[in-house]
Structure 1
Amino acid sequence: MPLAADYYFSVFPSSNGWATWKRSWQGFDYHLSSWPHVDKRKLAKFLFQEKPYSHWWITFFDRFYQLKPNDSWDYQFHYQSMIRNQLAIIPKANLVKNIGYGPDATHSQNPDSYFANVPTHEFEFPIRHPDQIVRHYEADLFIQKMLFGSVEVPGTYKKIKRLIKRAIRYSN
């Protein structure tokens, strides 16, 4: 995806080769204990306009909250950022080599994985900044589909057809 600037703003903080400020960890909620009280409609609206994608995250956090896995911290960090409507700064090119792949890794055991071998790039100076501090929606859609999975977003025809069927069913 071509970008004019050298970085963009995203709702997805990266846990692969990243840095943050100390304040980002304040109130870190390892067990997502606030999840039952989160306004899911507001969160869904913040995440994606397409309901299947925002629903994917709501369902994911529902499951995560119920299962309470203890071998990760990154999804909790995603959660915290998302419920606070925070944006992450993401470089347009990969700047780091992930050396954490292998048989001793917790989650990333396949050294032949695409993510274990993403080419690295040098950051060029002077840095080209985005015109505004706003989310790059198209980049986030790309990341959603590539990393977390694509879901079928019904087209207008399917939506209308479904509404007509529903109207007929309830009118009888």
Structure 2
Amino acid sequence: MLIDAYNGKFNTWDYQWLFSQWFHDGLSVIPNVNFISNIGFGVKATNTTNSSETTPFANRSISGITFPLKHPANIIAHKKADTFTQKTRFDPSFLTRVKLKLHRAIKIKRK
């Protein structure tokens, strides 16, 4: 997939960003609350054309940022948080996978 992204076979930015993170031993910050609401889902979207009903990441409620910010004394990977994020964000449940496949199948038949 990284080679396909490099060769421009699909329009994406996240594979390049992820590769850079891996290459430079980078870490990402994922806040405990949502600070923005991604409205870029639906038929008019550039990349995420699936409707907001099929993804839990669309039109999420937001929270404010509390100031002053509290920075940690050390910056290290948090394995428990990484595992939680992997399971809840990147490993969809069986029901979610079925819904996405049905949505894609219906969309393909309509074209």
TM-score tier by shorter-chain length is 0.5 to 0.7
TM-score, structure 2 normalization: 0.66
- Local SS of the residue matching 1:116: coil
1:86-120 C-alpha deviation (Å, 9 max, x unpaired): 11233221100112112111332212221003221
1:123-144 C-alpha deviation (Å, 9 max, x unpaired): 0112222231111221111111
Name the counterpart of 2:76: 134
- Quote the RMSD (CA, aligned, Å): 1.9
> Is 1:65 matched with 2:5?
no
Residue 66 of structure 1: CA displacement? Answer: 5.0
Pair 101,132 (structure 1): closer, same or farther in 2 beyond 3 Å: same
> Is 1:106 matched with 2:46?
yes
1:10-48 C-alpha deviation (Å, 9 max, x unpaired): xxxxxxxxxxxxxxxxxxxxxxxxxxxxxxxxxxxxxxx
1:37-92 C-alpha deviation (Å, 9 max, x unpaired): xxxxxxxxxxxxxxxxxxxxxxxxxxx03544321111111111112101123322
Larger strand share, 1 or 2 = 1
- Does the CA contact (< 8 Å) of 2:2 and 2:15 recur in 1? no
**Distance in 2 of aligned mates of 1:127 and 1:92:** 13
Pair 79,66 (structure 1): closer, same or farther in 2 beyond 3 Å: closer
Instruction: Output aligned runs, 1:22-37, within 5 Å.
Output: none
Name the counterpart of 1:88: 28
Number of positions where the alignment pairs a residue of Structure 1 with one of Structure 2 = 87
- Does the CA contact (< 8 Å) of 2:35 and 2:64 recur in 1? yes
- Where structure 1 has 5 or more consecutive residues not aligned to the other structure, the ranges are 1-63, 151-172
TM-score, structure 1 normalization: 0.45
- Local SS of the residue matching 2:30: strand
**Distance in 1 of aligned mates of 2:48 and 2:56:** 11
Same amino acid, percent of matched pairs: 33
Name the counterpart of 1:97: 37
